[in-house]
Amino acid sequence: MTSPSPLLFNNYYHIYVRGTNRENIFVQERNYTHFMNLYWKYIEPITDTFAYCLLRNHAHIMVRTKSQEEILENKKILVKTLKVSLPNPGYDKQDSPANRGENLQRKPLGSDYISRQFSNFLNAYAKAINNAYSRTGSLFEHPFGRVLITSERQFWNVIAYIHKNPQKHKFVKDFRDWKYSSYGIILSEKRTSISRNEVMKWFGSKDDYLRMHEQWVEGANSHWLSEDDFD
């Protein structure tokens, strides 16, 4: 199989992962929570997340990868990448490395940085599952899937497709009842790491968001979604 191109900085993607041999990647309810906790730990600093849906043997996510400049503005990434020590109260703040950021020669992140971070995230989850259930070997198919999103229409379709996936695969009769997705989070007023405001801006309004999920036709524009849709 030809290796896919690395995820590029500052681009929109539909990301999808599936268990090896269609094996379940979520065994218990707590696994869904742990997956998302690791996701926010590894992926939130390098992306804006617009939608996700976790099913028993696969998962879909839609993101915008951040630019190198945006990523390096994050102090945690700055410390990890440049090995810069942030000041503590006993240091002269004016002379600390963190406050000389403008003069530091910032080490490039590398063209495969985003892809490596996604791999690190998936490896961390796989290790946790292997330890918890006394299993060995790969949990996920390699490489993980990715489709570049290049238009507003594609943005709408992919988000609706991701949210309606549980109904498509007959896990539930109504996709709104599936609790391991961002559909309801986007509609709520609760605090979230999902880029809710940008999603609504793209759709136009909450009513348009609801309407376009209702009108989305299964299989429409499938070439925008994934090269190998998951069963």
Provide φ and ψ at 51, rounded to 5°: -165, 150
- How far apart, in Å, are the Cα atoms of 96 and each of 71, 85, 92? 21, 8, 6
Per-residue pLDDT tens digits of the chain, which is 231 residues long = 567 889 999 999 999 999 999 999 999 999 999 999 999 999 999 999 999 999 999 999 999 999 999 998 876 665 555 454 444 544 444 544 445 444 444 567 888 999 999 999 999 999 999 999 999 999 999 999 999 999 998 999 999 999 999 999 999 999 999 999 999 999 999 999 999 999 999 999 999 999 999 887 554 444 445 444 444
To which H or E segment does residue 146 belong?
strand 145-149
Tokens of 190: 């609760």
Q: Report the distance separating Cα 178 and Cα 123, nearest Å.
A: 26
Predicted TM-score (pTM) of this structure: 0.83
Please state the domain extents for the chain. 12-68+109-224
> Which residues are paired to 48 by β-bridges?
64
Write down the residue that tokens 């594609």 correspond to: 154
Torsion of CA 197, 188, 147, 22, to 10 degrees: 160
Cα→Cα distances 10→95, 135, 197, Å: 33, 37, 18
For domain 12-68+109-224, say whether CATH 3.90.480.20 is its number: no
